[in-house]
């Protein structure tokens, strides 16, 4: 569910007026940097020199000859913040895929090696034979460290390993047009060259799927539809079909694009009584503190009935944003056992801004989000943490979830 608008080719007639107004896109750079300074909730964590950021990208905006060139400047500027929850609301075929929405591998540097932690189920990368634990050795024929260094942020005020991890994942995700060419080394030591098409979402997926696992367990899997109001009705219908099962699995492993509270909170309301809180919200600012100035988002119970059986929630690196909020909420309300890997770790709640001259939209986090126990949402670790490198079953996260329900744990 890519919420960005696709930017079509600019006509030759449009180029001259854009070039004649070179100061206007440059002014948008100044405006954007000012908004980040004033409103970006995670700026202190990013180690970015804003003066250097402005100095790097203002001349590039002045030199941009059309909307496509300006889009590339903005994409490079925002990548400096190495935050997967920052995005433009416009893209083109040369734009980087969003992570995790358009990513097929989740990777990070471990002991100097670029390790694939997880492979997206059903993806072309999985079909090619890649597995968790494989090591990326080259990207587009370039040693992986060199490839990452050439695309890494240039406005850092201090070294930040998370910036390298971010850049690695973006390079592996590729763009909307170009093939992804990289090499991996398997645990056996064998090297494999990969040449894969750009990731394409399945346009025919339903809001959810419902399945039964024997007579005692049902599984409702949300299919990247937490921003689709039709999901609430579909969820209600599915829950009515399985209301009598003693164990239910809520599979949130395919929610990389997040969603909104208008969809998520009614679903949470089918599992609770009363009006419990499920996550804490804090908007940083001068003199503001988490203890004094944050507030709790709550969810109201919703009928026609509440599911009261045992509940397991499955999560993965493709559980993003609102999916992460639902997961930590059900954990905080002590309503479910959470099983899986760490999630996408998307920071905070985003707000949309429109650049005043070029009118390109940008979304970035303006609020920090927390588990009720004070853990930042992006740092949450599932109580039942599954190590995909060590597991041998076809779907180890689901296997653990089933085992928990059949042992009778809440």
pLDDT, tens only, 262-306: 999 999 999 999 999 999 999 999 999 999 999 999 999 999 999
Query: pLDDT value at position 359?
Result: 87
Q: Which residue, 26, 81, 31, 82, is CA-closest to 57?
A: 26
- Residue 13: count other Cβ atoms within 10 Å of its Cβ: 7
What is the Cα–Cα distance from 345 to 31, expressed in whole angstroms?
Answer: 28
DSSP type of residue 376:
B
**Cβ proximity of 162 and 82 under 8 Å:** yes
In the CATH hierarchy, which top-level class contains the domain 105-196?
mainly beta
pLDDT tier at 193 (50, 70, 90 boundaries)?
A: very high
pLDDT tier at 47 (50, 70, 90 boundaries)?
A: very high
Q: Name residue, tokens 């801004």.
A: 353
Lowest mean pLDDT among 108-117, 265-274, 399-408: 399-408
pLDDT, greater one: 20 or 293:
293
Question: Above pLDDT 90, what percent of the chain?
Answer: 90
Query: pLDDT value at position 205?
Result: 82
Lowest mean pLDDT among 17-21, 73-77, 228-232: 17-21
Query: pLDDT value at position 7?
Result: 63
Query: pLDDT value at position 8?
Result: 52
What is the Cα–Cα distance from 230 to 205, expressed in whole angstroms?
Answer: 13
**Cβ proximity of 394 and 131 under 8 Å:** no
What is the Cα–Cα distance from 56 to 73, expressed in whole angstroms?
Answer: 10
pLDDT tier at 10 (50, 70, 90 boundaries)?
A: very low
Tell me: pLDDT of 13 over 90: no
Tell me: pLDDT of 78 over 80: yes
- φ/ψ (deg, to 5) at 4: -80, 150
pLDDT tier at 16 (50, 70, 90 boundaries)?
A: very low
Instruction: Tell me the angle at which helices 161-173 and 144-151 cross, rounded to the nearest 10 degrees.
Output: 100
Average pLDDT for 182-209:
94
Tell me: pLDDT of 352 over 90: yes
**Cβ proximity of 369 and 258 under 8 Å:** no
Tell me: pLDDT of 11 over 80: no
pLDDT, tens only, 128-170: 999 999 999 999 999 999 999 999 999 999 999 999 999 999 9
Tell the burial category of 20 from Cβ atoms under 10 Å away from its Cβ (0-12, 13-18, 19+).
exposed
Tell me: pLDDT of 203 over 90: no
Query: pLDDT value at position 23?
Result: 61
Tell me: pLDDT of 25 over 90: no
Strand order of the β-sheet with 247-251 is 208-213, 217-222, 247-251, 310-315, 337-340, 384-385
Q: What is the mean pLDDT of the chain?
A: 93
Tell me: pLDDT of 410 over 50: no
DSSP type of residue 379:
G
Tell me: pLDDT of 125 over 90: yes
Tell the burial category of 262 from Cβ atoms under 10 Å away from its Cβ (0-12, 13-18, 19+).
exposed
What is the Cα–Cα distance from 6 to 93, expressed in whole angstroms?
Answer: 8
Query: pLDDT value at position 14?
Result: 40
List every span in the chain annotated with CATH 3.90.226.10: 208-345+380-406
**Cβ proximity of 306 and 266 under 8 Å:** no
Q: Topology of 208-345+380-406 in CATH?
A: 2-enoyl-CoA Hydratase; Chain A, domain 1 (3.90.226)
Rg, the chain, Cα only: 22
Tell the burial category of 122 from Cβ atoms under 10 Å away from its Cβ (0-12, 13-18, 19+).
exposed
List every span in the chain annotated with CATH 2.30.42.10: 105-196
Query: pLDDT value at position 175?
Result: 97
What is the Cα–Cα distance from 100 to 105, expressed in whole angstroms?
Answer: 9
Q: Which residue, 276, 264, 404, 263, is CA-closest to 335?
A: 276
CA 280 to chain centre: 19
pTM for this one?
0.93
Average pLDDT for 115-126:
97
CA 363 to chain centre: 13
196 - beta bridge partners? Answer: 180
């Amino acid at each position: 569910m890519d919420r960005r608008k696709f930017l079509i080719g600019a006509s030759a007639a449009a180029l001259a007026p854009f070039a004649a107004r070179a100061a206007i896109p440059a002014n948008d750079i100044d405006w954007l940097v000012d908004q980040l300074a004033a409103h970006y909730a995670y700026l202190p964590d990013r180690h970015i020199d804003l003066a250097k950021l402005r100095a790097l990208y203002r001349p590039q905006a002045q030199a941009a000859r059309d909307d496509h060139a300006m889009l590339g400047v903005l994409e490079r500027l925002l990548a400096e913040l190495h935050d997967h929850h920052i995005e433009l609301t416009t893209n083109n075929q040369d734009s980087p895929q969003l992570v995790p929405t358009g990513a097929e591998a989740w990777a990070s540097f471990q002991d100097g090696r670029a390790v694939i932690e997880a492979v997206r189920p059903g993806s072309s990368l999985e079909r090619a034979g890649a597995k968790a634990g494989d090591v990326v050795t080259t990207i587009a024929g370039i040693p992986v460290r060199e490839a990452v260094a050439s695309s890494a942020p240039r406005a850092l005020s201090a070294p930040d390993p998370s910036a390298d991890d971010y850049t690695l994942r973006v390079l592996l995700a590729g763009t909307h047009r170009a093939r992804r060419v990289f090499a991996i080394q398997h645990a056996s030591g064998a090297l494999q060259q990969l040449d894969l098409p750009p990731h394409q979402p399945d346009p025919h997926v339903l809001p959810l799927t419902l399945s039964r696992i024997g007579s005692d367990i049902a599984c409702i899997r949300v299919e990247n539809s937490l921003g689709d109001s039709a999901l609430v009705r579909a969820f209600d219908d599915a829950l009515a079909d399985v209301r009598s099962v003693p164990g239910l699995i809520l599979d949130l492993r395919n929610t990389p694009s997040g969603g909104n509270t208008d969809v998520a909170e009614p679903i949470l309301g089918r599992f609770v009584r009363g009006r419990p809180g499920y996550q804490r919200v804090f908007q940083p600012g001068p003199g503001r503190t988490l203890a004094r100035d944050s507030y709790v988002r709550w969810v109201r119970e919703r009928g026609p009935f509440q599911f009261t059986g045992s509940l397991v929630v499955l999560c993965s690196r493709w559980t993003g944003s609102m999916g992460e909020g639902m997961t930590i909420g059900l954990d905080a309300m002590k309503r479910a056992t959470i099983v899986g890997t760490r999630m996408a770790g998307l920071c905070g709640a985003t707000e949309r801004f429109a650049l005043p001259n070029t009118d390109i939209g940008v979304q970035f986090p303006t609020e920090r989000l927390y588990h009720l126990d004070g853990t930042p949402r992006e740092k949450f670790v599932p109580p039942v943490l599954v190590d995909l490198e060590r597991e041998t079953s076809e779907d180890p996260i689901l296997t653990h979830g089933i085992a928990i329900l059949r042992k009778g744990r809440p």
